Amino acid sequence: MTPDPEKIDAVPAEPVVELSAWRVTDVGMVREHNEDSSLFDANIGFFIVADGMGGHAAGEVASAMTVESVAKSLTDAKGQIAAFARAPDENGRRAIVQTLQSAVLTAHQSVFARGTAEEEKQGMGTTLDVLLIAGAEAFVAHVGDSRTYLLRNGQCSQITTDHTVAEVWVIEGKLTAEEAAVSPMRTVLVNAIGVSAEVGVEMAHLQLRRDDRLLVCSDGLHDYFPSEDEIAEALAQGEPEQALKDMVEAAKDRGGHDNITGIAVLIKQVRSPVRSGDFHERDSTQPVDLSKLHDDLDDADEPPTNTRNAALESRATQPMRAISSPAPVAPLAESTQPLGRVTPPIGLRALAHADTLPPDIRVRANDDGTITVLEPNAERSERGNKE
């Protein structure tokens, strides 16, 4: 007998996905305090890593506030998440994305408000990666330079994009990916929770498969595993719990310059959920068009004020990307409107609290409140041209 779609909650069913998860965090070999915060709830399906910044324990406050806020929002939405897991459709998918994005923005507003109100915490902020597993699908919300990886069939793919000056320069063609990997500007954030009045939220989406392994981690871990092949090899070694512990110890052995946090997730089983009538099963779902859900952000469609903003918008405000394999992550050609139409700002305070700002790097303030980062000796070149 076919179950009544309106009474689907009354139909008993096995969980669509069976998973296990592990978390390891360590202060590292240099820092005195652990400003990373992390939390997961495998029953609801969320996994969160935040890497705070700001000094005087403000980074620790920012990351803890963010994790607590996002966890509360997603806990409050557990009924919605469970219902989508049992019977996914496009409307439910849009609602899940909106819930996840709203959770991130709510946390951002709380951190920014506190940083503005308390002098000793001004400029505090944090990176944030949130992995939300709802049935056979996973959603990722990302801000900053923490990362989320997918390991499938022995191959690893970085799902997120680093929101750093080095990555902006790669997009603009000023650096190669290899140069960016060793550039001191790879630690200088252009987008973070709580630092500026606005924040950009990058979203991604994938269909899960049995034996997938996912890793959500701070830069204190991924900095010591610079290639995806190395991540794949390390994460595939034996049981994920021990593999994660070994990766953290390796990061410490290689220098441990920062706090180190990782959450590993193993997808043990994936069963077919009940499909509602308007959902057509694909290897990967299409991007979600949230343009109707974000009418208040239409003004963001105006042309960016400089090439740096344009370059960043092209990567950090992509549509929700559908990822079906560990091939290099890229937006789909037929992508719909970007989620939220928000452009992550490069804020002066974000630069002020970067881990590394080389002495020969200069910044120029723009009239719109953003900044432009100048390469070494750029100021002298500009003055010479004017003379």
366-379, pLDDT tens digit by residue? 554 445 566 554 44
Give the range among 202-206, 235-239, 370-374 with minimum mean pLDDT.
370-374
Rounded to an integer, the average pLDDT of 38-48 is 98
Q: What is the CATH number of the domain that holds 269?
A: 3.60.40.10
Q: What was the pLDDT predicted at 181?
A: 87
Q: What was the pLDDT predicted at 187?
A: 86
Assess if residue 301 is contained within a domain. Answer: yes
Assess if residue 363 is contained within a domain. Answer: no
Average pLDDT, the chain: 76
Q: What was the pLDDT predicted at 99?
A: 97
Q: What was the pLDDT predicted at 205?
A: 94
- Cα–Cα distance measured from residue 313 to residue 40, given in angstroms and rounded to the nearest whole number: 30
Q: What is the dihedral of CA 268, 271, 276, 282, to 10 degrees?
A: 80
Assess if residue 278 is contained within a domain. Answer: yes
Nearest one of 2, 61, 42, 183 to 50, comparing CA atoms: 61
pLDDT surpassing 90 at residue 302: no
> For the chain, how many structural domains are there in total?
1
pLDDT surpassing 70 at residue 194: yes
| Total-model pTM | 0.75
Assess if residue 358 is contained within a domain. Answer: no
E strand segments, the chain? 17-26, 36-41, 46-53, 125-126, 128-134, 137-143, 147-152, 155-158, 202-207, 213-217, 260-270, 321-323, 362-365, 371-374
- Cα–Cα distance measured from residue 38 to residue 230, given in angstroms and rounded to the nearest whole number: 24
Assess if residue 188 is contained within a domain. Answer: yes
- Higher-scoring residue by pLDDT: 175, 106: 106
pLDDT surpassing 50 at residue 346: no
| pLDDT digit string, tens, across residues 76-119 | 999 999 999 999 999 999 999 999 999 999 999 999 999 999 98
pLDDT surpassing 70 at residue 330: no
Assess if residue 357 is contained within a domain. Answer: no
Rounded to an integer, the average pLDDT of 206-219 is 97
Q: What was the pLDDT predicted at 350?
A: 41
Assess if residue 336 is contained within a domain. Answer: yes
pLDDT surpassing 60 at residue 240: yes
Q: What was the pLDDT predicted at 167?
A: 87
Q: What was the pLDDT predicted at 168?
A: 83
Give the range among 44-48, 168-172, 189-193 with minimum mean pLDDT.
168-172
| Contact criterion met (CB below 8 Å) for 145 and 164 | yes
Assess if residue 365 is contained within a domain. Answer: no
- Higher-scoring residue by pLDDT: 197, 44: 44
Question: Assign residue 15 a region: left if phi > 0, alpha if psi is -120 to 50, beta otherwise?
Answer: beta
- Cα–Cα distance measured from residue 357 to residue 375, given in angstroms and rounded to the nearest whole number: 12
Rounded to an integer, the average pLDDT of 54-60 is 80
The three-state secondary structure class of 133 is: strand
Q: Domain of residue 120: give its range.
A: 13-347
pLDDT interval class at 360 (50, 70, 90): low
